[in-house]
Amino acid sequence: MSERTAPSRAGAAHVDDQPRPGRWLALSVLVLAVLLVGVDATVLGLATPFLSEDLRPSGTQLLWIGDIYSFVIAGLLVSMGSLGDRIGRKKLLLIGSMAFGAMSVLAAYASTPEMMIAARALQGVAGATLMPSTLALIRNLFHDPKERSLAIGIWGAMASAGTAVGPVLGGFLLGHFWWGSVFLINLPVMLLLVVVGAKVIPESRNPDPGPWDIPSVLLSLVGIVGVVYAIKEAAVHGFRWDIGPAAVIGLLALVWFVRRQLTLDSPLLNMKLFQHRGFSGAVLADLLTILGLSGLVFFLSQFLQMVQMRSPLNAGLVELPAAVGAVGAGLAAGWVARRLSVRLVVAGGLAVVGLSLAGCTALHGDTGTLALSIILFVVGIGAGFAFTVTADVILSSVPKEEAGSASAVSETAYELGAALGIALLGSIVTSIYQGFTAPAGVPGHVVDAARSSLGGAVDAAAQLPAEQSATLLKTAQDAFVSGVDTAAGIGAVVLLGAAVAAWFLLRGQELADSAPVAQPAPDPEAAPVVGSDPAARGPELP
In sequence order, the 6+-apart residues with CB closer than 8 A to the CB of 222 are: 75, 249, 250, 253
| pTM (predicted TM-score) | 0.71
Run of H or E including 271: none
Q: Check pLDDT > 60 for residue 8.
A: no
**Distance between CA 137 and CA 188 in Å, rounded?**
22
pLDDT category, 322, cuts 50, 70, 90? Answer: confident
3-state secondary structure of 366: coil
Mean pLDDT of 203-222: 78
Q: What is the pLDDT of residues 444-499, one digit of tens each?
A: 777 777 777 777 787 777 777 777 788 888 888 888 888 888 888 888 999 999 89
Q: What is the pLDDT of residues 110-140, one digit of tens each?
A: 888 888 888 888 988 888 887 777 777 787 7
pLDDT category, 45, cuts 50, 70, 90? Answer: low
Q: What is the pLDDT of residues 409-449, one digit of tens each?
A: 777 777 677 767 777 787 788 788 877 777 777 777 777 77
pLDDT cut 90: percent of the chain above it:
4
Mean pLDDT of 187-203: 81
Among 3.30.70.3270, 1.20.1250.20, 3.30.70.1430, 3.40.50.300, name the CATH number for the domain at 22-213+264-505: 1.20.1250.20
pLDDT category, 253, cuts 50, 70, 90? Answer: very high
Q: How many CB atoms lie within 10 A of CB 202?
A: 14
In sequence order, the 6+-apart residues with CB closer than 8 A to the CB of 246 are: 226, 227, 229, 230, 233
Q: How many CB atoms lie within 10 A of CB 249?
A: 17
Q: Check pLDDT > 80 for residue 346.
A: yes
Q: Check pLDDT > 90 for residue 256.
A: yes
* String of DSSP letters for 193-239: HHHHHHHHSPP---SS-----HHHHHHHHHHHHHHHHHHHHHHHH--
